[in-house]
């Protein structure tokens, strides 16, 4: 999903540590990104605009390895590894998508929300959402994307974007001013870096429970075609700047807004 550059870097570092603990040389992860960069040309292939390119990921792994204890690693030729390679080699090839099929939604179906709600809860907050949508994320973390599968759009390069749905997470503003307006503007600036065509509309204040919130209207190009509206809601919390991005095509946002506002009224913080 979008806006996950820091999460991607943390995952790479954790992956290198796990490789080392499992007995595999973590330098091979850096070499993988080196190969990927070579195949993708200068700068490496851009999987998603918000992700670091393979060259940067390679350097991150190399820097992390310097702080790991020295160890003797397996060369990967164990009998179990060879068995796994044979099993993978016997699997049929994945079907190849071309043309408009590769640019369509991840799955068919009506993305419009039902009138029935179910609860999503993690360590930081709870929110209710339409029961015909899905929550994509680990409830042990504070990041989740709630959307219908048919609201997720995949382009020809495999990038997945949200056409309908809600993205929820916490941000750490650069200035850490603890000022809602200033920190929201900092977040919008970060989002604009990944979405150069993003435009900012009006902002207004509201309350979520006992917390002051700021609602900012953003406009961007929809992966479903035409323009989309991103309704950004921000709240200052001890964990950081809590935010929700409600996403939908501009032509249909008026129909989505009642369910989005209903979702907002169900938000509950755990502390």
Based on the fold, state whether residues 29 and 112 are members of the same structural domain. Answer: no
Based on the fold, state whether residues 214 and 256 are members of the same structural domain. Answer: yes
Q: Which domain holds residue 158?
A: 101-269
Q: Over pLDDT 70: what percentage of the chain? A: 78
Based on the fold, state whether residues 148 and 69 are members of the same structural domain. Answer: no
- Out of 47-51, 181-185, 246-250, least confident range: 47-51
193 inside domain: yes
- Put simply, whether the predicted model's pTM sits higher than 0.75 gets the answer no
Based on the fold, state whether residues 10 and 50 are members of the same structural domain. Answer: yes
Based on the fold, state whether residues 124 and 29 are members of the same structural domain. Answer: no
pLDDT value for 98: 45
96 inside domain: no
94 inside domain: no
Residue 2 has pLDDT above 90, yes or no: no
**Residue 172: which CATH number?**
3.40.1000.10
| Sequence-distant (≥ 6) Cβ neighbours of residue 188 within 8 angstroms | 200, 216, 218, 232
Name the H helices within the chain: 5-21, 27-40, 54-65, 79-89, 180-194, 253-265
Residue 196 has pLDDT above 90, yes or no: no
Burial class of 8 by CB neighbour count within 10 A (0 to 12, 13 to 18, 19+): middle
Residue 167 has pLDDT above 70, yes or no: yes
């Amino acid at each position: 999903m979008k806006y996950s550059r820091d999460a991607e870097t943390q995952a790479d570092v954790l992956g290198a540590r796990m490789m080392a603990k499992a007995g595999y040389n973590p330098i091979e992860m850096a070499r993988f990104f080196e190969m990927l960069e070579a195949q993708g040309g200068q700068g490496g292939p851009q999987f998603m605009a918000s992700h670091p390119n393979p060259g940067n990921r390679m350097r991150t792994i190399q820097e992390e390895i310097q702080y790991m204890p020295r160890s003797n690693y397996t060369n990967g030729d164990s009998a179990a590894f060879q068995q796994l390679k044979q099993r993978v080699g016997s699997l049929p090839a994945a079907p190849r998508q071309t043309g408009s099929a590769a640019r369509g939604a991840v799955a068919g179906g009506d993305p419009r929300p039902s009138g029935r709600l179910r609860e999503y809860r993690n360590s930081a907050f709870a929110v209710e959402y339409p029961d015909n949508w899905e929550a994509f994320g680990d409830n042990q973390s504070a990041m989740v994307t709630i959307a219908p599968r048919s609201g997720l759009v995949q382009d020809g390069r495999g990038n997945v974007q949200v056409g309908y749905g809600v993205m929820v997470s916490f941000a750490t503003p650069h200035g850490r001013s603890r000022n809602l307006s200033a920190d929201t503007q900092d977040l919008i600036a970060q989002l604009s870096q990944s979405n150069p065509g993003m435009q900012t509309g009006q902002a207004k204040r509201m309350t979520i429970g006992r917390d002051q919130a700021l609602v900012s209207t953003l406009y961007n190009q929809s992966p479903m075609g035409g323009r989309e509206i991103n309704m950004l809601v921000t709240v200052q919390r001890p964990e950081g700047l809590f935010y929700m991005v409600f996403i939908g095509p501009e032509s249909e946002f008026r129909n989505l807004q009642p369910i989005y506002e209903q979702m907002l009224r169900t938000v509950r913080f755990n502390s």
